[in-house]
Amino acid sequence: MFGVDEAGRGPVLGSMFAAAVVVEDTDDLPAGIGDSKTLAPERREAFAEQFREDDTIEVGVAEIPTSQIDDPETDMNTLTVKAHAEAISQVAKENAQGIVDACDTSESRFARRVTEGIEYPIEITAEHGADETHTIVGAASIVAKVERDTHVAELEEKHGEVGSGYPSDPKTRTFLRDYVESHGELPDCARASWQTSKDALSACEQSALDQF
């Protein structure tokens, strides 16, 4: 049985990550697993480390970088399908069965698209909110969130305070605005196609015009 979830669909900064967790019997998963958003960061990290150290649990991770997210020839639903399929392909065997957290209004369409992205026969069920109702998907949610948090920490090591990376975060918006004002362009970790990035560029251009 495998479960899949992703983290980082909505941020204006950084990559999106999908994780697949495979276990023969879900009863073998540690107690206390739930939707990653309900767990403290330290708890998530402890679970993720435990998964990787347990020989009965397999973990696959796929990363979708900003360069792919900004590609005008694709969209976030397609990239999420791609990420789920890549993560599954790393660890799930032929004819395996699993549940993925649906990122499409149609659960059946999302399941079909992910299935089509895998080169061998596999049985996939997609459900909205699967990370809250299926422990195996909750485990995948934890791994994906830890990967995303690690990624953001690396961005902070490079750039200083960047916030959570979400458009609603004032720290993230301030980072983008200050970076553009200092460098005249967006940082390479920014999703240029996101409105928040466009707003930061526009604000800088307007400020330059005002000064002129």
Annotated binding residue at 5?
yes
Q: How far is Cα 81 from Cα 113, in angstroms, rounded to an integer?
A: 7
Q: How far is Cα 169 from Cα 200, in angstroms, rounded to an integer?
A: 14
Closest CA to 143 of 64, 33, 69, 66: 33
Tell me the DSSP string of 72-135.
TT--HHHHHHHHHHHHHHHHPPTT-EEEEE--SS-HHHHHHHHHHTSSS--EEEEETTHHHH-H
Closest CA to 64 of 74, 53, 51: 74
Strand 16-23 relative to strand 57-64: parallel, antiparallel, unpaired? Answer: antiparallel
- Edge-to-edge strand list for the sheet holding 2-7: 57-64, 16-23, 2-7, 97-101, 123-127
Binding-site residues from annotation: 5-6, 101
Q: Which residues are annotated as a binding site for a divalent metal cation?
A: 5-6, 101
